[in-house]
Chains A and B, each alone.
Chain A
Amino acid sequence: MSQIPVTVLTGYLGAGKTTLLNRILSEPHGKKYAVIVNEYGEEGIDGALVVNSDEEIFEMNNGCICCTVRGDLIRVISGLLKRSTNFDGILVETTGLADPAPVAQTFFADEEIAAKAKIDSIVTVVDAKHLPLRLKDSREAQEQIAFADVILLNKADLVSADELAGVERAIRGINRFAKIVRTTKCDVPLEQVMGLGSFDLAEILKREPDFLKGEEHHDHDHVHDEHCGHDHHHDHHDHNHISDSDISSLSLTTDKALDGVKFETWMGDLRANKGQDLLRYKGIMDIAGSEKRLVIQGVHMMMDATELAPWKAGEKRVSRLVFIGRQLDEQGLRDGFALCAA
C-alpha cells in the first residue's frame, strides 16, 4: 500500500502561512487534499476536506520529552485514513508558535499512521523582513527553520537585496540543507511545496543523487525576482554557527566502510544522551559486509533505518551523515563518527 504524503506547514504568525494555504486550496490543481487546520474560517472548499483540530501535545512512554506527539493529529489522521476516498495528500497547518518536532514524531511513533502516511516535507514560511528579529527572540522560529525541508522566504519584495542575502545567511546558519525559495505573497508553484518526498531520503536520493554531497547544489530557487542581484556567496565551512541561535547544522563524511554494530551503538548512545538536542538528522551509510546502502532518518530520539538499493559496481562508496541540532558538539560528533569505521 502506498503511503499518503503529508505536508507540514509551519511558520511564525504573519509570515504568510494562511496566504499559502488559501492558494493551495483554491488553485485548480486537480488534486484532492485533506487539510488539517487550526480554526480555519471557511467551510468546505472544492476538492479539499478541511478538518479543524486543536493542537494537543501528548507525551508518550510516561513523560519522555523526546517522545512527544500530536494527539489531535493521531485522532484526525487515523480517521482520514479509514476513508476509502483516496486523498492525494494531507496538509497539516501548525500554529505560529508550534514546535515542529511533535508533528514529525507523530509519523514515527504511531505505527498505524507510520504504515499508511508519511511526511512528504516540512515547509516553513518566513517573513524576510521580520525573520532576523524572530530568530533573536523565539526558540520556535529557530526550530521551524531547523526542521524545514523547504523554506519560503516570503515578502522578499519588502526588503533590499542586501537584507535578503543576510536573511538567507541567517537561515543557512541554522539549516544548510533546506531548499530556500524566495517568494512574494507565497507565489510559488505548488510542485515546489507539495509532493516533494523531501522527508524521505530514499526519494531524495532517487531524484537528487548528490543531495548529501554538500550544500553547493542547494542553491536558492528564484521564483519571482530573477535579477535580485544578491551575491551567490556560500559558506563553505563545514560548520557554521551564528550568534543568534545555538542551532547549527553539520555534515560528516567518510569513504571508509562503517562497522554496522559500532555505528548502531554510537547512534543509539547519541540519541539516548543527546536526543533532545538533535532536531533532525539523515544519512546514507556504507556498512562493511553489506552491498546495500543503509539510509537513516531521525527526529530527536526517533529514528528510522532502512536498506536501500545496492551500491553500483564501481561506484565510490561514501557514508554521509548530516545533523541539525542545538549545541552540536562538532569535534565529539566527528570523533565518534570516525570511530565507527570498520
Chain B
Amino acid sequence: MNSALFHQWVFDAPVLSLCVNRRGDFVAASFADGSVRLFIANDEKDNPHTLALHDGISLSLRPDADDHAFLSGGDDGKVFILNPLTHETTLIAEHKNQWVDHVAGAVDGKHRAYNVGKKIYVLDEEGKAKFDAPLAVPSNAGDIAFSPNGKRLAVSHYNGVSLFWLNAKDATPSVLAWKGSHLDMLWSADGKILMTSMQENALHGWQISDSKEMRMQGYAAKIKSMAWTGRGKFLATAGADQIICWPFSGGGPWGKPPVTLGGQDGRLVTQVAPHPKDDMIAAGYDDGMIVLAPLDGRMEIMIHPPASGDKNTITGLVWNAGGDCLFAATETGNVLLFTIDSVRKALVHAK
C-alpha cells in the first residue's frame, strides 16, 4: 500500500503546528513564514484561506475560548482571535518587542490567557484584564492551560507548575513542585490529572486531589505530542520509536507498564492523534510516515509511507470532530488530508 492520501496541499514554508477548533469543524495551520491557513475540516479541496497574521511567526496556535475560533500568539508580541467562518482577525493584545509564547482559551468560554515570559495575562469575556497585575511565575512559562471546568489556570515553569484560581482575589498560586523544566501541559478531561512534558526526555504528572505524582521516563526524545484516548483510558505520547500509551483506567498508571504500538526501528514518533470515537491512534513519524494503530494491539495500518530521501517530519496531526478526516502537516510545508473513505479504498486496493 502506498498512500491513502485523499488530498495534498504544497506550500513554501514549513508547517509549525496544526490545531483543530473545539467544534472540530475547522483546522488551522501555522507556517514558518508567519502565515496561518484555515481549512474546513471535511473533504473539500478548495481550501484553505490564508491569513498573513504575524510579523514574525505564530509561537502558539490553540483553540479559542469561543468554540469555533482559534487563538494565536506570536513573536511580534501580538495575540489574535481568528474567526474561521468570517476570516476575520481580532487583535486582542500587543506587547512591543516581546514574544507571546503561549495562548489558551478556557473550555467554558469565559477566559483567555497568554504569557509574555514570566507574566501571565488573563482576559475576561469582554477582553478586559481579569487581574490588576499580570500573574507571575518564577521563570519563563513553559505552557499555560485552563482546567477543563475553566476555574483554574495552570502555568508550567522551571521546578514545577503554578495553579491559579481564577475567581480568587489573591493571585497566589498553589505550586506542584518537581525539579526540572516543565514544558507542555495536558489536563485530563475530568480535571483530575495534570501532565507535563519536561526538558529531559520524560513526562511528569500529578493527581490534583492529593498531589500524588507520576514520572514516565525512557523516551528517546522530548515529548512533543500527547493526547488522551477516548474516555481518558490511555495517555498516548510521542517521543519514542513506538506510540507509548500509559494506562489511566482502573487506579491510574502507577506500577503499570505502558502499552506500546506501531513499533518501527530507527524512527521516532513525533505526533499522536487518538481517534475521537474509535479505539485507534493516528501517529506521525520523523521520516514522514503516518500509521493508524488500533489500541487492541492489532497490526497498525500505514496510511502514508516514509519520505524518500530527506526526512520529512510530521509536525501536526489532528482529526475532525466526526473522525472521518485526518489532517497531517510536514516540516517541508505540506498539509495532507486522509479520509476514512480514502483509507478504505487504499486498503481494498492493496488486497
Q: Which A residues have a C-beta under 8 Å from some C-beta of B? A: 43-44, 50-52, 54, 56, 58-63, 69, 71-72, 74-76, 79, 82-84, 110-112
Who on chain A is nearest to B117 by CB? A54
User: A266 to B155, alpha carbons, bound, how many Å?
Assistant: 43
Please determine whether A52 and B98 come into contact, CB atoms closer than 8 angstroms: yes
In the complex, are the beta carbons of B200 and A61 less than 8 A apart?
yes
- Chain A hits for B33, CB < 8 A: 84
Listed A/B pairs (12) with beta-carbon separation below 8 Å: A43-B97, A58-B180, A60-B181, A60-B199, A61-B180, A71-B140, A74-B199, A79-B101, A82-B57, A83-B32, A84-B12, A84-B13
* Contact between chains at A82 and B16 (CB < 8 Å): yes
Number of A-B contacts (CB under 8 A): 64
A74 CB to closest chain B CB, in angstroms?
7
Complexed CA–CA distance, A111 and B221 (Å): 8
Q: Which residues of A contact B31 (CB under 8 A)?
A: 84
- State which residues 1-57 of B face A: CB under 8 Å: 12-14, 16, 31-34, 56-57
A75: contacting residue among B57, B101, B179, CB under 8 A: B101
Residue B187 lies at the interface, judged by CB distance under 8 Å to chain A: no
Tell yes or no: B151 within 8 A of A by CB: no
For the complex formed, measure the closest distance between the CB of B314 and the CB atoms of chain A, giving whole angstroms: 15
Q: How far is the CB of A299 from chain B (nearest CB, A)?
A: 17
Task: Verify if B328 is at the interface (C-beta below 8 Å from A).
Answer: no
Chain B positions within 8 Å of A71 at CB level: 139-140, 158, 181, 199
Q: Is B222 an interface residue (CB 8 A)?
A: yes
Given contacts A52-B97, A60-B200, contact A72 B158 (CB under 8 A): no
Count of B interface residues, CB-CB < 8 Å = 28
Which of A44, A72, A112 contacts B222 (CB under 8 A)?
A112
Interface pair A75/B180, CB less than 8 Å apart? no
Structural contact, B158 and A83, CB atoms closer than 8 A: no
Residues of chain B lying within 8 A (CB to CB) of residue A111: 221-222
Which of chain A's residues have a CB closer than 8 A to the CB of B96?
43
| A79 CA / B13 CA spacing, docked (Å) | 15
Asked whether B56 lies within 8 Å of A83 as measured between CB atoms, the reply is yes
Contact of B199 among A52, A58, A76, A83 (CB under 8 A): A58
Q: Report B174-224 residues with CB < 8 Å from chain A CB.
A: 179-181, 199-200, 221-222
Cβ–Cβ contact A58 & B158, under 8 A: yes
Closest-CB distance, A260 to chain B (whole angstroms): 24
